[in-house]
Structure 1
């Protein structure tokens, strides 16, 4: 029965943990983007401040947010994710 095998296979526990990390990163990215884009960008355009010629709300939400996400995703992959074999060794396949 496949359901029982999935519960016993440790790869599924690892995959679930890594999926939750990915969901957390996506939520952080959205909150960061939304907070700066609509928090700082909701005022009149005449009152905007500029960074490198871009409105500050755009710079923080899109440029800085992208750079922060690159660092966070790289750190998550390097330190939190594990390499897991795709082959199912329990079904008698070729093992090298």
Structure 2
């Protein structure tokens, strides 16, 4: 007999891995895409080099919002107690 909690946990683990891949892609893309040029040609956002602002600051804010959305709408509250076990 298969416990449905394992299916939920497996689905949520896959969602977590996807979030990590999205986070790394954003960070890597901006950090090495925009930051690989000559430092004299950098553009700045709020005093930070644009590559740093978009990869570390804006990327973090985006990920926090995305994670809150995922937790609110995609994750399921699962009880930890055994459903088939006796309750003494």
Secondary structure of the structure 2 residue equivalent to 1:86: coil
1:48 match: 42
Q: Distance in 2 between matches of 1:17 and 1:93?
A: 28
Structure 1: tracts of 5 or more residues without a match: none
Aligned length: 88
* Structure ranking higher in helix proportion: 1
Q: Structure 2-normalised TM-score?
A: 0.96
Runs of 4+ displaced beyond 3 Å? none
Aligned-residue CA RMSD in angstroms? 0.9
1:37 match: 31
Structure 2: tracts of 5 or more residues without a match: none
